[in-house]
Amino acid sequence: MSPTDGPSAAPPATRMPVTRRPIERIKAMIAEGRLRPGDRLPTERDLAHEFEVSRSSMREAVRTLTTLGVLEVRHGAGVYVSSLRPADLLETFSVLAEISQGDTLIEVLQVRRMLEPAATALAAARATDAQLERVGAILDRISSGSGGRETVAADLTFHQAIVQITGNATLAAINEGLSSRTFNARVWRGHCADGQAARLRQDHERIYQALLARDPDAARAAATMHVMEVERWLRADLETATAEEAAAPGAAEAG
């Protein structure tokens, strides 16, 4: 065990960076329930005094906890404990999808291939009529679009809406983090260029039909096929990019 274990295993006091003390203490207070969602913390100035650090350091601590989704800062109004809902705590997740390239994108898709089929099956079993109607409306927006921004946005919304039907906010937040606008835009652009946008539309239609039929098995299969289609495209795209890179290094993103 490392000497830094435990929230307040004080004795050794391994000279942790000053900024870290407030972070750990506040996190611990929240984990222990002494601070609850929506609670307001003292002002930055008071906190700094309480933890015996300068205001700059206190601000860095607050910023860290804000980035983690644990705290919320309102200019002029104060620092508050966030709702602590999964969506808050997993907001940072999106950087993975934003920044990842190449092999990591494949890995991300493999994870989605584990989650989305299970989620879609669950949704098929639980969906209410109103929820299905909403999904149908989103599907119309995908179909009526021409592969541009609208379509990409609708596509993302489509999958999010389905995952939300499961009622599992954590699952929804994770799945949302595994998708990204930019990646989805690439997928659509690629399919349109190959004249295969119909494939994507058909995938979505099949998923929707499975939901309508409230058939979990069909939903699972349809979702699996869809993710696999995206994965198939990505693998092909990566190969092309690699080949172009080899032919003309450093100019892969042109056009």
Partner DNA sequence: GCACCGAACTGATCAGACCAATCGACGCGA
Partner DNA sequence: TCGCGTCGATTGGTCTGATCAGTTCGGTGC
Residues that bind a second copy (CB under 8 A): 1, 27, 30-33, 56, 59-60, 63-64, 67-70, 84-86, 89-90, 92-93, 95-96, 98-101, 104, 107-108, 110-111, 114-115, 118-119, 149, 153, 168-171, 174, 182, 253
Is there a contact between 93 and 180 (Cβ–Cβ < 8 Å)? no
Among residues 54, 92, 170, 242, the one that binds DNA under rule CB under 7 A: 54
CB of 5 to DNA, least distance (A): 20
CB of 164 to a second copy, least distance (A): 12
Nearest residue to 221 (alpha-carbon basis) of 211, 233, 231:
211
Among residues 7, 37, 38, 78, the one that binds DNA under rule CB under 7 A: 78
C-beta atoms surrounding 245 within 10 Å? 12
Q: Which among DNA, a second copy, none contacts residue 93 (Cβ within 5 to 8 A by kind)?
A: a second copy
CB of 161 to DNA, least distance (A): 31
Cα 65 to Cα 23: distance, rounded to the nearest angstrom: 7
Looking at beta carbons only, is 9 or 16 nearer to DNA? 16
C-beta atoms surrounding 205 within 10 Å? 14
Looking at beta carbons only, is 105 or 139 nearer to a second copy? 105
Among residues 26, 27, 35, 57, the one that binds DNA under rule CB under 7 A: 57
Q: Which among a second copy, DNA, none contacts residue 44 (Cβ within 5 to 8 A by kind)?
A: DNA
Q: Which among DNA, a second copy, none contacts residue 171 (Cβ within 5 to 8 A by kind)?
A: a second copy
Contact status: 209 vs DNA (CB under 7 A): no
Among residues 8, 11, 33, 77, the one that binds DNA under rule CB under 7 A: 77
Is there a contact between 86 and 169 (Cβ–Cβ < 8 Å)? yes
Q: Which among DNA, a second copy, none contacts residue 119 (Cβ within 5 to 8 A by kind)?
A: a second copy
Q: Which among DNA, a second copy, none contacts residue 76 (Cβ within 5 to 8 A by kind)?
A: DNA
Among residues 9, 36, 56, 85, the one that binds DNA under rule CB under 7 A: 56
Tokens coding 104: 């990591």
Site residues for DNA per CB under 7 A: 15, 17-19, 41, 43-45, 52-57, 59-60, 62, 73-79
